[in-house]
Chain A
C-alpha cells in the first residue's frame, strides 16, 4: 500500500512537470480514493512537481509560460479536489503564508497580478485573489478575515498608485499595520514610491514579487 502510494504521488509530480492538468487531476482523484492524506498529496505530489518545474526554470530549460502552466495545472487539482477534501476532513493545511492580492480601486488591469498570484501559489502560499478594482476597505476587511500574512496591491496607472498609500493608511487606522506585510507592484510603481508609502516590499516584475514575498516571511529563496 505504501509502495503504491509513493508511486502514485510521483506520478502526480510527473504530470505537473509535463504541464498536464488533466492527468494530474486524475491521479490526485485516484490517490484520494485510496485514502491518502490530502496534505501529503499536495506535499509529495503537487509541490514536488512544482519544485521540479521551478528548478528547470532556474537552469534555463523552462520559461515563465511553463511556470504558469504548471501552477494552473496544480491549482486545478487543489481547488477542485483537494481543498474540498481538506475542508471535509477538517485538516489544518500547512502553508508558507496566506496572501490577499488584488488590483486597486479604479484599475481593472489583472494579468501581472494574476501571474504573481500563480507564482505565490506555486511557492506554497494560500492565495486569495480578490480581483480588480478593489476598494481600500475590501483589502483591509479580507486581510482581517483571512488573517493574511501578506497584502499585495497592484496598480497599473499613475492615478491609481495613490490608492496603495491609502491601503497602508487604512491598515494603520485599523490597528493591524504591524500584523501584515504589504508588497506593492505594477508598471509605474518604483522602489522609491514603495519606500515613500512605507510598504514592506516592492518588486518590478512577477518573478521578483514571488521572491520578495517569500523573503518578507523569512523564507529562504
Chain B
C-alpha cells in the first residue's frame, strides 16, 4: 500500500467562514439550480425532491438532498493499482500526487523539440510516472493525436495499463457507447466487474461545463460509473473572472456547487458510490485574455477547496504543478513548486497538474521528474518534526560533549534516514565537482533521469491473452464507430 503523509497545516479561512461558504453553496444549488442536460437525471432529481424545469433543463436541488448526498459519499476511497502494492486510500488530509493526460504537445525527451504528442508518447508518459516513487497515480501526461479520434480513449487506456501498475484516471473522450467499453476493458484485466469494483485500478474524471452546467454526455458517464460503483471525480476547471466569479470565494462556491451537484446524482443512483470532490481553479488574465493555470489566486482557491473537503469529510482533488512557463526555466520550477506546496500543505488528497509547461498545452517528462522530487520534499515537509524524548536529543547532546561533534554517535545513525530528506535532483556538491560532472543544469539532470527510467524501468506486463482480447474490443468498437459515421 502506498502511504500518504497527513497535511492540512495551511488554512486560508476560519471555521465560521467555511460554514458561510457552505450556506452560499446550498443557496446557489437550491435557488439558482444546476443545468443538467439529461432527461433521466432530471427525472431522478425531480423524484427525489428537486424543483425541475424540464424545458430549461434546470434542477433546483434542495439543501437537504445536497447534505444527504455528502453524507452518503464514502469518507475513504481505495484507488487501486494493477499491483496491490500501488493501492492507496484517499481520505482525511493525506496527500497523494498524480500525473494526468492533458497536453496536446510533448517536449521530446531526446531532441528537446516541442511537437505533437502520439500514442507512443502516451506509453512513455505512463512508464515514467510508473517509475517515479513519489507519484501515486500514473497517467499519460499528453494526448494521442495520431490514432482515430473516435476510439482514442480505448487506445490510450490500453497503452497506459500496459505501462503502469499504478492507479490511473480516465477523462471522458467519447459518448457513452464507447465510454462503456473502457469499463469493459478494465473489467477484463481485473478479472471481472466484482474484482474491479473491489480494487478499481481506473477511475473517471468528469468536469462540469462552468458555469453551472452538466453536459449530456458527461451526465451519462457519471450515471454509468455510479451504477458500476467505480470511483468518479466530479471537478470543474473554472477560470475566475470568465467562467466563474472574479472573487476567489465566489469561484470556489460555484466549483463546490457544481461538484456536489454531480454527487447528488451519483448517490441517488447508487448510495455509497465513491465520489471524489474538488475543483481545478484557474484565472482569466484580464490583460491578455489567456487562461492562467498557476497563480497565487489559484493556490489560495485550492487551499480553500481542501478546507471545505475536510469540513465535508470528502476525498478531494485540486491542482498543483502547473506553470505558464514556455520552457524549462526558473518560472517553470517556481510555479510548479508554489502550486504543489500550497495544495499539499492544505491537505488536498489528490494533486493534479504535474508534468506540464505552457499552461498544460505541452507535456514535459522533465517536469514530471522535477515534480516528483518536489512531491518527496512535500511529503517530508508535511510530516513535520518528530518531538519526543529521543529526538529532543538531551542524552545525545551530553554524549557529544562541550565542543565535540555528533557524527560518530549511534543516535545520529539511528535517526538520519527518518530525520533528513535525501534529494536526488537537487545539487549540493562543490563547484569543482559540479564542473567535473559536466556542469549539468537542474533540468538536464531531470531529463537524464527520465531517460534512465524509460531505459531501465520494468513494468509488469499484462498477460498476452488479455492483450489479444483488449485488441479485439478496440477493433470491434473502431469498426462500429466507423459505421456510425458513414
A interface with B by C-beta (< 8 Å): 60, 63-65, 108-109, 111-112, 115, 157-159, 162, 187-188, 190, 192-193, 204-208
Distance between A195 CB and nearest chain B CB, rounded to angstroms: 11
Within 8 A of A (CB), among B236-252: 241-243, 246
- Which one of A111, A115, A208 has the greatest number of beta carbons of chain B within 10 Å? A111
Residues of B within 8 A of A111 (CB): 242-243
Q: Verify B116–A64 contact, CB threshold 8 A.
A: no
- Least CB distance from A204 to B in Å reads 7
Could you list some 22 contacts between A and B, CB below 8 A? A63-B287, A64-B285, A64-B287, A65-B246, A108-B37, A108-B213, A108-B215, A111-B242, A111-B243, A112-B242, A115-B242, A115-B289, A159-B149, A159-B153, A159-B173, A188-B143, A188-B361, A190-B105, A190-B361, A205-B290, A207-B288, A207-B289
* Number of residues of chain B lying within 8 A (CB) of chain A: 29
Contact: B145 with A159, CB < 8 Å? no
- Is A187 a contact of B291 with CB atoms below 8 Å? yes
Number of A-B contacts (CB under 8 A): 56
With contacts A108-B209, A190-B104 taken as known, whether A158 is within 8 angstroms of B291 at the C-beta atoms is: no
Do A192 and B116 form a contact, CB below 8 Å, given A111-B242, A159-B173, A162-B149? yes
Tell me, in angstroms, the Cα distance from A190 to B103 when the chains sit together: 11
Residues of B within 8 A of A208 (CB): 289
- Residue among B37, B284, B291 with the most chain A CB within 10 A? B284
A188 to B362, CA, bound (A): 9
For A65, A159, A205, A208, the residue with the greatest tally of chain B CB atoms inside 10 Å of its CB is A159
Q: Which residues of B are in contact with A by a Cβ distance under 8 Å?
A: 37, 104-105, 115-116, 143, 145, 149, 152-153, 173-174, 209, 213, 215, 241-243, 246, 284-291, 360-361
A65-B286, A205-B288 are known; give 11 further A-B pairs, CB within 8 A: A60-B287, A65-B241, A115-B289, A158-B145, A162-B149, A187-B291, A192-B105, A192-B115, A205-B289, A206-B289, A208-B289
Query: What 6 pairs between A and B have smallest CB-CB spacing?
Result: A63-B286, A206-B289, A205-B289, A188-B104, A207-B289, A64-B286
Min CB gap A173→B, angstroms? 15
- Look across to chain B and name the residue whose beta carbon is closest to the beta carbon of A189: B104
Contacts of A192 in B (CB 8 A): 105, 115-116
Instruction: Kindly state the separation between the CA atoms of A158 and B153 in the bound complex, as whole angstroms.
Output: 11
CB nearest to A64 among chain B residues? B286
Q: How far is the CB of A62 from chain B (nearest CB, A)?
A: 9
Closest to B173 in A: A159
List residues of chain B with CB within 8 A of the CB of A187. 291, 360-361
B126 to chain A, nearest CB (A): 17
Min CB gap A208→B, angstroms: 8
- Hey, which chain B residues are within 8 Å of A109, CB to CB? 209
Q: Which residues of A contact B284 (CB under 8 A)?
A: 64
Name the residue of chain A whose CB is nearest to the CB of B243. A111
Q: Chain A residues near B143 (CB, 8 Å)? A: 158, 188
Output the least CB separation between A155 and chain B (Å). Answer: 11
Closest to B144 in A: A158
Are B174 and A159 in contact, CB atoms less than 8 angstroms apart? yes
Closest CB in chain A relative to B167 CB, distance in Å = 22
User: A188-B361, A192-B116 are contacts. A159–B286 as well, Cβ < 8 Å?
Assistant: no
CB distance from B144 to the nearest CB of A (A): 9
A194–B288 Cα gap in the complex (Å)? 21
Residues of A within 8 A of B288 (CB): 205, 207
Contact status B290-A204, CB under 8 Å: yes
- A75 CA to B336 CA, complexed, in Å: 41
Q: Inside 8 A of A157's CB, which chain B residues have their CB? A: 173
For B287, what are the chain A residues with a Cβ–Cβ distance below 8 Å?
Answer: 60, 63-64
* With A188-B104, A188-B361, A190-B104 as contacts: A64 and B289 at CB distance below 8 Å: yes
A206 contacts across to B, CB distance below 8 A? 289
